[in-house]
């Protein structure tokens, strides 16, 4: 008589198996899961009609603190390909989810795991790995998506990765890549002209995530509001930062959407500068729907801020 | 080219002369005993002069190499000189690159070392009352108190609760393994740290049909918080209800099979067979006598999760643990232990700002409905010595609000019923001992209210203040203050089951 409940549990499990078995195999398009939305946008361009792409994180999230939602697990379980930024960008959530998804195809090192940092030369690779330096990324700064030239490398890596997994679609991927790159190249030429007044503009940001963008367009990093990567500022640090900004005439404060507005505004007020809210991923602002939008939006917003603060250079 | 050659010959000659000179000097020095200081000085001066000459010559060579050959000279064409310089530099660079590459090719036996992390969890506390939730029978042999509080002295106390080593790595393409080795101060042994293997388990990595098998010693998949290590809990102490009903962490030695349903939503099921449930469990864990198959503990859990939208989500789980025929260590008999649990967790985590503002409300209910006495261990009997099946309820609910990335206040309420020793109760109508009344149990209610505040200076460091106000059914009420300081060294990545 004590076994009755056990029978019920098994009956329930078997029932679920039948219910669940159906839809999983009915998929025709290649199902791609990406960690971040930028990768989803580019992968959709490369895959074209052959693929369905879904990003786990949204553009407004803190990419380092994406919550481990169990609803991600079935998605990863069904994924034929997982595309990640790499350089330990997603270390706090992707590895745990991949393990739980029980999908050996997308385990790091297997073909289904596409790491788009492979062709990128990482910047700010720490020479001294100590947690005293904050929450460091041992392989270097992972925010390379903000450099459009890196966008080219991302697209190439995705195309190669997809070809490796689905060699029968090589021609499509290559054609789509070519189209994407020629559009990107044209855009880059445009952006370089557009961003000329940003050359030499000095700025601070909340987190050290604008490096690649700044280097590409000739801007100069002066410091971060965070004490160290991932570590909230102390009062002394903020005083010092404001002092440095005053001495060096820094007027632009970059705030990423997932950080609070309070501290950046206070700093901007103290130095008589401008706060500019810059998305660091696609979807980080309502207007930013594609990777191209992201770069263009950031250039425009920075131009506006630099002009308002009177630090913009000549066009 | 020829000029260079000439120069090289010249330099070679100088070097040769120096060498012979030096050698001769050495021989001289040997034959005449210790050389006079002035001689050495002279030699040094000569060397310095020669070095200077060499340097000059080298400069000249470089200059010549850089110049185009004079028109009509018998030398090689200028381009070729350039080429050879470039070639030389190229060789140098290649040499350096090769050396650097070779340096990276070193192999160490330690390269395959597993990833290691260490958690240090230390607690300062003040407790008004040493007594646990149950005074026990006073003999000490069946001391029944809430296990958390009775292991430490009353009053002021500092406790190194945990120095926990976590080691993990892939074993091969098919399995990974991990171990958690914990040392904690043992109050009974002059606070000397005693080492224990909390977990040491092997986990499969590529079984088909979404299956995973885990074997060894591990914290069984039962409930929401029971399988968390104490330092990983959202509170300082383990909720008294689960601590009483399960007995510390949900440790078992056994095998677990878990399955992820191929559903569009998250659904996971697991089944476990093990020696016991609960790290401090005294139910059926005697390894002296032969254990029948029914003397093992069988556990099952089903859990699921739903997103209401991007910002709100909820998780449900149900667990069962059954020991059909556990050994009663104390009374050398056999009894049935059954524990049923339900848990939920609601989370409001706005996508854009969840890192610095979010809310978690979660709780767990346990129902003990076997013959086992969850507190005293062993079988529950009435005054006549007959086995008693009693249902006792316990559980907790907590809410935690994230004020910023660093500050998280929270509040926990815990309640559980305690099965006290059956007392001789007289039926008021018949005047006879009322066993039926005993059978329904002399439950005593225990309630604990716990406000707490956690501060995270960084992801790897945490300080927590907690106050427990306990109303205990058959023991003195207690006030407890805790200050917990926890750090994590090494690779501290959260697994799926330890997710926030």
| Tens-digit pLDDT profile for residues B65-111 | 655 544 444 445 556 677 888 999 999 999 998 888 888 777 777 88
The average pLDDT across B304-320 equals 95
Residues 116-145, chain A: which have Cβ within 8 Å of B? 131, 134-135
Q: What number of other Cβ atoms are within 10 A of residue B141's Cβ?
A: 9
Three-state secondary structure along chain B?
A: CHHHHHHHHHHHHHHHHHHHHHHHHHHHHHHCCCCCHHHHHHHHHHHHHHHHHHHHHHHHHHHHHHCCCCCCCCCCCHHHHHHHHHHHHHHHHHHHHHHHHHHHCCCCHHHHCCEEEEEEEEEEEEECCCCCCCCCCCCCCCCCCCHHHHCCCCEEEEEEEEEEEEEEEECCCCEEEEEEEEEEEEHHHCCEEEEEEEEEEEEECCCCCCEEEEEEEEECCCCCCCCCCHHHCCCCCCCHHHHHHHCCCCEEEEEEEEEECCCCCEEEEEEEEECCCCCCCCCCCCCCCCCCHHHCEEEEEEEEEEECCCCEEEEEEEEEEEEEEEEECCCCEEEEEEEEEEEEEEEECCCCCCCCCEEEEEEEEEEECCCECCCCCCECECCCCCECCCCEEEEEEEEEEECCCCEEEEEEEEEEEEECCCCCCECCCCCCECHHHHHHCCEEEEEEEEEEEEEEEECCEEEEEEEEEEEECCCCCEEEEEEEEEEEEECCCCCHHHCC
**Cβ contact, residue pair A60, B322, below 8 Å:** no
Tokens representing A192 are 């370089």
ipTM value of the model?
0.85
With CA atoms as reference, the chain B residue closest to A261 would be B353
Q: Does A48 touch chain B (CB under 8 A)?
A: no
Boundaries of every domain in chain A:
22-190, 196-309
Mean pLDDT of chain B: 78
Which one of B260, B352, B500 has the shortest CB-CB distance to A73? B260
The residue whose two tokens read 């080429």 is B83
Query: Which of these ranges, A69-78, A196-205, A229-238, B274-283, has the smallest mean pLDDT?
Result: B274-283
Q: How far apart are CA B204 and CA B210, in angstroms?
A: 11
- pLDDT per residue as tens digits for the range B214-235: 999 999 999 999 999 989 999 9
Q: Which residue has the higher pLDDT, B152 or B426?
A: B152
Q: Does B208 touch chain A (CB under 8 A)?
A: no
So what's the pLDDT on residue B136? 37
Q: What number of other Cβ atoms are within 10 A of residue B227's Cβ?
A: 22
With CA atoms as reference, the chain B residue closest to A72 would be B266
Res B383 pLDDT > 70: no
Res A3 pLDDT > 70: no
- Between A and B, how many residue pairs show a Cβ–Cβ distance under 8 A? 114
**Cβ contact, residue pair B264, A23, below 8 Å:** yes
- Shortest CA gap B337–chain A (Å): 12
Q: Does A108 touch chain B (CB under 8 A)?
A: no
What crossing angle do the helices spanning A148-165 and A37-47 adopt, rounded to 10°? 60
Q: How far apart are CA B323 and CA B295, in angstroms?
A: 6
The average pLDDT across B103-127 equals 87
- Shortest CA gap B493–chain A (Å): 6
Res B131 pLDDT > 80: no
- Shortest CA gap A36–chain B (Å): 13
Superfamily of domain A196-309: Nitrogenase molybdenum iron protein domain (3.40.50.1980)
- pLDDT per residue as tens digits for the range A17-44: 544 444 444 448 999 999 999 999 999 9
**Cβ contact, residue pair B305, A96, below 8 Å:** no
Span B120-498 CATH architecture: Beta Barrel (2.40)
Res B6 pLDDT > 80: no
A220-224 β-sheet, strand order: A220-224, A202-205, A252-255, A274-277
Q: Does B262 touch chain A (CB under 8 A)?
A: yes
- Shortest CA gap B271–chain A (Å): 11
**Cβ contact, residue pair A104, B406, below 8 Å:** no
Tokens representing B89 are 């530099």
**Cβ contact, residue pair B349, A67, below 8 Å:** yes
Res A158 pLDDT > 80: yes
| Residues from chain B contacting residue A258 (CB–CB below 8 Å) | 352-353, 355
Which one of A20, A100, A260 has the shortest CB-CB distance to B262? A20
Tokens representing B278 are 């609960």
The average pLDDT across B49-63 equals 74
- Shortest CA gap B379–chain A (Å): 18
So what's the pLDDT on residue B446? 84
Res B135 pLDDT > 50: no
| Residues from chain A contacting residue B310 (CB–CB below 8 Å) | 58
| Residues from chain B contacting residue A21 (CB–CB below 8 Å) | 262
pTM of the model: 0.80
**Cβ contact, residue pair B266, A60, below 8 Å:** no
**Cβ contact, residue pair A65, B460, below 8 Å:** no
Q: Does B6 touch chain A (CB under 8 A)?
A: no
| Residues from chain A contacting residue B309 (CB–CB below 8 Å) | none
Q: Which fold has domain A22-190?
A: Rossmann fold (3.40.50)
**Cβ contact, residue pair A68, B496, below 8 Å:** yes
The residue whose two tokens read 């395959």 is B112
So what's the pLDDT on residue B474? 58
Half-sphere exposure of B89 (CA within 13 A, CB side): 8
Q: How far apart are CA A119 and CA A225, in angstroms?
A: 30
The pLDDT confidence band at residue B314, using thresholds 50, 70 and 90, is: very high
| Residues from chain B contacting residue A9 (CB–CB below 8 Å) | 300, 302, 320
The average pLDDT across B2-18 equals 52
Q: Does B460 touch chain A (CB under 8 A)?
A: yes
The average pLDDT across A220-234 equals 92
The DSSP symbol for A105 reads: G
- Shortest CA gap B405–chain A (Å): 8
Q: Does B310 touch chain A (CB under 8 A)?
A: yes
Q: Does A277 touch chain B (CB under 8 A)?
A: no
Is A76:A98 a contact under the CB 8 Å cutoff?
yes
Residues 64-103, chain B: which have Cβ within 8 Å of A? none
Domain A22-190 identical in fold to domain A196-309: yes
Which one of B207, B313, B355 has the shortest CB-CB distance to A258? B355
Is A234:A226 a contact under the CB 8 Å cutoff?
no
Cα–Cα–Cα angle for B116, B120, B124, rounded to 5 degrees = 175
Tokens representing A169 are 């679609």
């Amino acid at each position: 008589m004590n076994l009755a409940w056990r029978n019920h549990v098994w009956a329930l499990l078997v029932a679920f198996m039948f219910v669940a078995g159906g839809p999983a195999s009915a998929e025709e398009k290649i199902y791609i899961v990406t960690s971040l939305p930028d990768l989803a946008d580019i992968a959709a361009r490369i895959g074209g009609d052959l693929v369905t792409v879904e990003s786990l994180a949204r553009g407004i999230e803190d990419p380092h603190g994406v919550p481990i939602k169990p609803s991600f697990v079935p998605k990863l379980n069904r994924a034929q390909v997982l595309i990640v930024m790499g350089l330990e960008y997603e270390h706090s959530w992707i590895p745990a989810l991949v393990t739980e998804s029980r999908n050996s195809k997308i385990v790091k090192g297997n073909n289904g795991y596409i790491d788009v940092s492979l062709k990128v030369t990482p910047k700010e690779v720490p020479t001294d790995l100590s947690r005293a330096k904050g929450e460091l990324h041992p392989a270097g700064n992972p925010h390379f998506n903000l450099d459009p030239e890196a966008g080219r490398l991302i697209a190439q890596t995705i195309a190669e990765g997809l070809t490796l997994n689905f060699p029968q679609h090589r021609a499509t991927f290559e054609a789509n890549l070519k189209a994407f790159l020629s559009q990107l190249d044209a855009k880059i030429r445009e952006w370089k002209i557009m961003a000329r007044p940003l050359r030499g503009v000095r700025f601070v940001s909340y987190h050290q995530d604008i490096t690649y963008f700044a280097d590409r367009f000739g801007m100069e990093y002066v410091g971060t509001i965070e004490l160290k990567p991932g570590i909230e500022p102390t009062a002394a640090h903020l005083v010092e930062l404001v002092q440095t900004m005053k001495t060096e005439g820094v007027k632009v404060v970059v705030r990423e959407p997932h950080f609070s507005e309070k501290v950046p505004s206070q700093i901007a007020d103290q130095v008589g500068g401008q706060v500019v809210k810059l998305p660091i991923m696609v979807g980080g602002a309502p207007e930013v729907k594609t990777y191209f939008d992201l770069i263009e939006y950031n250039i425009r917003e920075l131009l506006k801020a630099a002009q308002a603060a009177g630090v913009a250079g000549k066009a | 080219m020829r000029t260079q050659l000439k120069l090289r010959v010249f330099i070679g000659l100088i070097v040769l002369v120096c060498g012979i000179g030096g050698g001769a000097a050495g021989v001289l020095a040997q034959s005449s005993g210790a050389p006079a200081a002035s001689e050495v000085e002279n030699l040094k001066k000569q060397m310095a002069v020669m070095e200077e000459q060499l340097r000059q010559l080298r400069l000249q060579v470089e200059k010549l190499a850089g110049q185009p050959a004079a028109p009509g000279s018998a030398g090689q064409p200028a381009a070729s000189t350039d080429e050879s310089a470039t070639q030389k530099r190229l060789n140098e660079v290649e040499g350096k690159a090769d050396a650097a590459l070779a340096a990276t090719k070193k192999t160490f036996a330690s390269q395959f070392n597993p990833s290691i992390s260490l958690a240090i969890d230390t607690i300062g506390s003040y407790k008004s009352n040493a007594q646990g939730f149950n005074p026990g029978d006073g003999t000490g042999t069946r001391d029944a108190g809430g296990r958390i509080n009775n292991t430490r002295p009353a009053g002021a106390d500092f406790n190194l609760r945990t120095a926990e080593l976590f080691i993990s790595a892939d074993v091969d393409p098919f399995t990974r393994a991990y171990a958690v080795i914990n040392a904690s101060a043992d109050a009974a042994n002059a606070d000397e740290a005693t080492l224990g293997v909390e977990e040491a388990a092997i986990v499969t990595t590529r079984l088909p049909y979404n299956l995973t098998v885990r074997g060894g010693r591990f914290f069984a998949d039962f409930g929401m918080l029971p399988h968390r290590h104490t330092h990983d809990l959202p509170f300082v102490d383990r909720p008294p209800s689960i601590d009483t009903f399960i007995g510390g962490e949900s440790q078992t030695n056994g095998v677990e099979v878990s399955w992820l349903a191929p559903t569009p939503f998250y659904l996971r099921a697991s089944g476990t067979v093990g020696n016991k449930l609960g790290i401090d469990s005294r139910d059926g864990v005697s390894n002296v006598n032969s254990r029948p198959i029914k003397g093992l503990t069988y556990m099952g859990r089903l859990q699921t999760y739903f997103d209401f939208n991007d910002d709100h989500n909820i998780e449900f789980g149900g667990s069962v643990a059954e020991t059909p025929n556990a050994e009663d260590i104390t009374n050398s008999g056999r009894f049935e232990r059954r524990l049923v649990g339900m848990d939920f967790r609601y989370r409001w985590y706005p996508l854009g700002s969840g890192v610095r503002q979010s809310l978690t409300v979660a709780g767990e209910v346990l129902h003990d409905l076997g013959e086992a006495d969850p507190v005293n261990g062993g079988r529950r009997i009435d005054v006549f010595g007959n086995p008693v099946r009693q249902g006792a309820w316990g559980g907790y609910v907590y809410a935690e609000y994230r004020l910023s990335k660093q500050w998280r206040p929270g509040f926990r309420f815990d309640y559980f019923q305690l099965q006290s020793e059956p007392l001789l109760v007289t039926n008021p109508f018949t005047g006879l001992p009322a066993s039926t009344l005993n059978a329904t149990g002399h439950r005593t209610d225990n309630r604990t209210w716990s406000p707490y505040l956690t501060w995270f200076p960084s992801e790897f460091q945490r300080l927590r203040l907690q106050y427990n106000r306990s109303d205990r059914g058959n023991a003195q009420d207690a006030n407890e203050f805790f200050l917990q300081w926890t750090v994590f060294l090494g690779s501290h990545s959260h697994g799926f089951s330890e997710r926030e």
